[in-house]
């Protein structure tokens, strides 16, 4: 498989199976329910891991949880540890509903403090970092390749955190001295405090995958400063680090980048409750992983319709064998899921059901072909709707149909009977 590498701007070929592939994907900062945009890197890179395993690779997929961060202190003053623990569980519960089962490790910052302190100490010893009044800063000028990943010019970068303690406004924090109101802190050679955001991922990746691994994934929005700083500090410590930097495009809410700060988001939980797992997974298939993806009722409705088309095909008879090689070609070429989805629809039209099931299973959509019984409450609503239609009360029948749809089911009428099928 070839994947686009942000650093080189080129497609880079992964080694042939059974080579071991280490994958590190930046996860959420946990202080509230995760929004649906957080699910995209989780889903995309889980799919990649599943594909590589299906083709004979040994894969270790690591997806971290950032449970030490300014946002957590701000969200839960005096109770940041409790909030982080709760929100971590919320996130893990939510992504488990996708049923992909691809992640091998979910390291947390709070479990990696020794490795973080050791890495910072190494950078100080190598003169790539310096301490000031309990803080430690990375010396950007000491890394000549700084800016190569993001395309930023070091001499034009604005200081995100003005601080007179810095030797250079561009320098960034590796360790922060404990401040009033921050209720969690750890002992270090520089005093009590806690790590900066960027060093956390460098340490967790090295602990789980070693100092060199194949793929580092995450959203396009964290190339700078997060991944730029990870690259600088890791390589300054002598770690070759990631061979491929893979950045997924942003999820946009009706055309705009989703943002918790302005409130135009829906949580993973809300989306799965409303649309179901199958529709949500199919929605993520519809755009190339490096491109933006618009989230709206219209795009989710279109995904639900596609899911139903594939579900209906699986209820039919197998008529032929499909060309599996076309599906392989789509995914081997920069993991092109829209092209792969088009092939799945071809399988459906041709009646190549073995290949259709095989492809759907890869993306966690194997349940599309499995009959599911409706809950008793939904079945009762469907019976009431059937009776309303028989009595000519079509307004009530329509109201009940909408209630059934909101519960995640579609009711179909045929020759004096009705059928319930999942809406996703």
Q: pLDDT tens, 54-91? A: 999 999 999 999 999 999 999 999 999 999 999 999 99
Specify the pLDDT at position 378: 83
Specify the pLDDT at position 367: 81
Whether 216 and 245 have beta carbons less than 8 Å apart is answered as yes
- Tokens 């992964």: give the residue: 14
Instruction: Measure CA of the first residue to CA of the last residue in the chain; give whole Å.
Output: 30
Least confident of 106-110, 323-327, 356-360, 394-398: 394-398
Distance CA 332, CA 330 (A): 6
Distance CA 248, CA 276 (A): 23
Whether 67 and 312 have beta carbons less than 8 Å apart is answered as no
3-state secondary structure of 346: helix
- Tokens 């360790």: give the residue: 175
What's the full length of the chain, in residues? 424
Specify the pLDDT at position 265: 79
Output 61 or 156, whichever has higher pLDDT: 61
CA contacts within 13 A on the Cβ side of 249: 18
CA distances 363 to 12, 285, 358, 368, Å, are 23, 9, 9, 11
pLDDT band at 153 (very low <50, low <70, confident <90, very high): confident
pLDDT in tens, 338-353: 999 999 999 999 999 9
Sorted by sequence, the CB contacts under 8 Å of residue 193 that are 6+ apart come out as 134, 135, 175, 176, 177, 178, 185, 186
Residue 375 has pLDDT above 80, yes or no: no
- Tokens 């889903």: give the residue: 43
What share of the chain has pLDDT > 90, as a percent? 76
pLDDT band at 128 (very low <50, low <70, confident <90, very high): very high
The whole-angstrom distance between residue 242's C-alpha and the CA centroid of its chain comes to 18
């Amino acid at each position: 498989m070839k994947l686009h590498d942000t650093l080189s701007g080129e497609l880079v070929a992964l080694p042939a199976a059974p080579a071991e592939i280490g994958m590190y994907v930046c996860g959420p900062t946990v202080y509230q329910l995760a929004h649906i945009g957080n699910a995209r890197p989780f889903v995309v890179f889980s799919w990649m891991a599943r594909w590589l395993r299906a083709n004979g690779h040994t894969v270790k997929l690591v997806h971290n949880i950032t449970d030490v961060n300014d946002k957590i202190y701000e969200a839960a003053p005096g109770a940041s540890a409790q909030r982080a623990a709760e929100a971590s569980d919320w996130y893990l519960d939510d992504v488990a509903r996708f049923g992909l089962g691809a992640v091998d490790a979910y390291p947390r910052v709070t479990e990696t403090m020794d490795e973080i302190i050791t890495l910072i100490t190494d950078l100080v010893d190598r003169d790539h970092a310096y301490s000031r009044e309990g803080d430690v800063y990375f010396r950007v000028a000491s890394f000549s390749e700084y800016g190569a990943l993001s395309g930023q010019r070091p001499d034009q970068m604005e200081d995100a955190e003005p601080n007179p303690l810095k030797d250079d406004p561009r320098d960034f924090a590796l360790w922060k001295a404990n401040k009033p109101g921050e209720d969690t802190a750890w002992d270090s050679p520089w005093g009590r405090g806690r790590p900066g955001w960027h060093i956390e991922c460098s340490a967790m990746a090295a602990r789980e995958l070693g100092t060199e691994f194949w793929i580092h994934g995450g959203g396009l929005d964290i190339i700078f400063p997060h991944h730029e700083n990870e690259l600088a500090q890791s390589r300054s410590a002598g770690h070759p680090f990631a061979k491929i930097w893979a950045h997924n495009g942003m999820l946009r809410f009706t055309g705009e980048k989703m943002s918790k700060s302005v409130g135009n988001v829906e949580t993973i939980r809300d989306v799965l409750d409303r649309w179901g797992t199958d529709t949500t997974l199919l929605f993520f298939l519809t755009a190339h992983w490096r491109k933006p993806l618009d989230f709206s009722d219209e795009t989710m409705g279109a995904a639900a319709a596609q899911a139903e088309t594939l579900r209906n095909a699986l209820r039919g008879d197998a008529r032929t064998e499909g060309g599996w090689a076309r599906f392989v070609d789509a995914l081997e070429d920069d993991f092109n899921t829209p092209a792969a989805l088009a092939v799945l629809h071809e399988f459906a039209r041709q009646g190549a059901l073995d290949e259709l099931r095989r492809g759907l299973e890869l993306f966690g959509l194997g349940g599309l072909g499995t009959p599911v019984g409706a809950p008793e409450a939904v079945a009762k609503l469907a019976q009431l709707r059937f009776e309303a239609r028989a009595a000519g009360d079509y307004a009530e029948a329509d109201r009940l149909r909408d209630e059934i749809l909101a519960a995640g089911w579609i009711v179909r009428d045929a020759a004096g009977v009705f059928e319930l099928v999942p809406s996703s």
